[in-house]
């Protein structure tokens, strides 16, 4: 698996602009409907992706930025990347609240990812991300809890996703987000989470979805530290640039894990 | 197919609040990370959906609100609902710019939906929403163009979706959006569109995805007139209320089609 430096992704956090949620709000403007008058000479005929194209696989680059106060311990996020089949990627975010009970929040997320990575080729998992969450959770003995997202690419281009909590995934195609997962949370900033305690959620609470990838698609998978600090249009801009972006001067301090994948012919 | 009144959905447009995009921006606050301290007694153990549960099917309610200036002609949106298999729903939004060329923008979207509805059980379509878009587009002879989304539910709970342009779909579970489609557009307010002209897009440009539904899920499918005027959290509130909502006093004037589906045991 090729590993590409992705500094532009984790350096592209901006302070909150004065106009805040312009990106979403711009679609709530007043006034009459405006749309291009077809035919649209300025729009080139699209170059459609092949329906039955070459087999796809993902090459990844990854980076973790611990919370400034957790640098010594390396933060509480964990992830793994596997080249099995079309490629497998997973992120887990340890729930920081455990520190208040003298439990290292990183232990659960790290063991969960370790167990999951060892189970990727398990026959009973049968390349099903929800089943992988189920078996990895059952195999994890650490005390704690974590959010988790696992994405598994079939070589035919089908990316299968299971997520518990507020880790996220975006698929960027031709300069726009064409697929996005949605966070699961009990209330603001308290996400669904796999836990060592019965009170937590399980694989049965995972949102299970899939999306058909095409050659050239870019995947961005991360913990909530990424998506809480960077708007989707900023992620798209970062993916489309080779600049080092702008150092973050605001936002929400958190562990931040970002993994960027590129869909390529096998 | 049960048809439920959905007045609360189309009456729930609000004027743009002073704080605009609060819904998204609230996740970009500054300050240190805050998360619930597990175990969380206030959070009941979740009631997980069955992995292999009863067969699912969708019951729908639908409503169309033409653009105020298009009421006489009924607007340019079109849709169809089918009870075939687990249920099929589709929306098409005629591109209004054609009116400037003395072409009724409603003709293309209406014929597209008519052809699609007649092809739902087609063997060659084999219950594939992208193939249904392909064959319905090929069968449509009207001049014009339209955005389109088609969702087809397998009785095992898999909702298969294909979308060209900026119609949208949301899956609401336990009071939150757990799945959302993303719009495709060339530039602001110029969506990808199937067209009678070669310059348009095709089924090959469709974003193809799927999501595993569980009993009790609510689907909201609509044209951009819905999603441009109503934030997701407002849609969730509307789904969770029986009130008549609030009459819209702002927003973007447009044809608005909204179809609400409920996943039930077959």
- Condensed to tens digits (0 to 9), the pLDDT of residues A183-238 reads 999 998 899 999 999 999 999 999 999 999 999 999 999 999 999 999 999 999 98
| CB contact B52 to A (< 8 Å) | no
Helix/strand/coil for A105: helix
Which chain A residue is nearest to residue B206, measuring alpha carbons?
Answer: A48
ipTM value, please give it.
0.80
B189 to chain A: closest CA residue: A35
Least confident of A146-155, A255-264, B29-38: B29-38
Q: Are strands A256-265 and A218-222 parallel, antiparallel or unpaired?
A: antiparallel
Confidence of residue B51 (pLDDT cuts 50, 70, 90): low
Write out the H or E segment, with its range, that includes residue A86: none
Per-residue confidence (pLDDT) for residue B21, from 0 to 100: 27
Distance (Å, whole) CA B35 – CA A108:
16
Residue B82: other Cβ atoms inside 10 A: 18
Contact (CB, 8 A) for A35 and B96: yes
At B93 the three-state DSSP class reads strand
As a whole number of angstroms, the distance between CA B250 and CA B252 comes to 7
Are B43 and A198 a contacting pair at CB < 8 A? no
At the fourth CATH level, the homologous superfamily of domain B2-18+54-265 is PPM-type phosphatase domain (3.60.40.10)
Residues facing B62 on adjacent strands? B259
- Given strand A218-222, what is the order of strands in its sheet? A56-65, A256-265, A218-222, A168-173, A176-181, B176-181, B168-173, B218-222, B256-265, B56-65
Closest CA to A216 of A48, A76, A75, A62: A48
* Statement: residue A261 has pLDDT above 80: yes
Residues of chain B with pLDDT > 70: what percent?
Answer: 76
Contacts of A192 in chain B (CB under 8 A): 46
Q: Helix, strand, or coil here: B23?
A: helix
The H or E element containing residue A211 is strand A207-212
Nearest to B48 by CA among B241, B225, B212, B228: B212
Question: Hey, which residues does B162 pair with through a beta bridge?
Answer: B150, B208
- The pLDDT value given to residue A186: 94
Q: Is the pLDDT of residue A100 over 50?
A: yes
* Residue ranges of domains in chain B: 2-18+54-265
Using a pLDDT cut of 70, give the percent of chain A over it. 76
Map tokens 């002609």 to a residue: B73
Residue B219, beta-bridge partner list = B171, B261
Checking if the pLDDT of A262 tops 70, the result is yes
User: For the segment B68-80, what is each residue's pLDDT rounded down to a tens digit?
Assistant: 888 888 889 999 9
B185 touching A, CB under 8 A? yes
**pTM, two decimal places:** 0.81
* Closest residue to A253, CB basis, from B32, B101, B228: B32
Answer yes or no: is pLDDT of B244 > 70: no
Minimal C-alpha gap between A141 and chain B (Å): 16
Residue for token digits 């392909």?
B134
Question: Does the CB of B192 have a partner CB in chain A at under 8 Å?
Answer: yes
């Amino acid at each position: 698996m090729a590993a590409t430096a992705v500094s532009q992704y984790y350096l592209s956090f901006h302070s909150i602009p004065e106009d805040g949620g312009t990106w979403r709000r711009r679609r709530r403007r007043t006034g009459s409907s405006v749309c291009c008058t077809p035919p649209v000479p300025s729009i080139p005929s699209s170059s459609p992706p092949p329906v039955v194209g070459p087999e796809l696989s993902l090459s990844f680059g990854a980076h973790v930025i611990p919370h400034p106060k957790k640098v010594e311990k390396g933060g509480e996020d964990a992830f793994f990347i596997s080249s099995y089949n079309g490629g497998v990627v997973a992120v887990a975010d340890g729930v920081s609240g455990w520190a208040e009970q003298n439990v290292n929040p990183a232990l659960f997320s790290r063991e969960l990812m370790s167990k999951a990575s060892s189970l990727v080729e398990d026959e009973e998992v049968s390349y099903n991300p929800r089943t992988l969450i189920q078996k990895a959770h059952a195999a994890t003995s650490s005390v704690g809890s974590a959010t988790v997202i696992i994405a598994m690419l079939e070589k035919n281009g089908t990316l299968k996703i299971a997520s518990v909590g507020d880790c996220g995934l975006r698929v960027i195609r031709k300069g726009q987000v064409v697929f996005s997962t949605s966070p699961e949370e009990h209330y603001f900033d308290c996400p669904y989470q796999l836990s060592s305690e019965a009170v937590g959620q399980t694989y049965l609470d995972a949102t299970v979805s899939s999306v058909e990838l095409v050659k050239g698609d870019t995947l961005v998978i991360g913990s909530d530290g990424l998506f809480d600090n960077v708007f989707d249009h900023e992620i798209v801009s970062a993916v489309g640039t080779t600049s080092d972006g702008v150092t973050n001067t605001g936002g929400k301090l958190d562990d931040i894990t970002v993994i960027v994948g590129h869909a390529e012919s096998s």
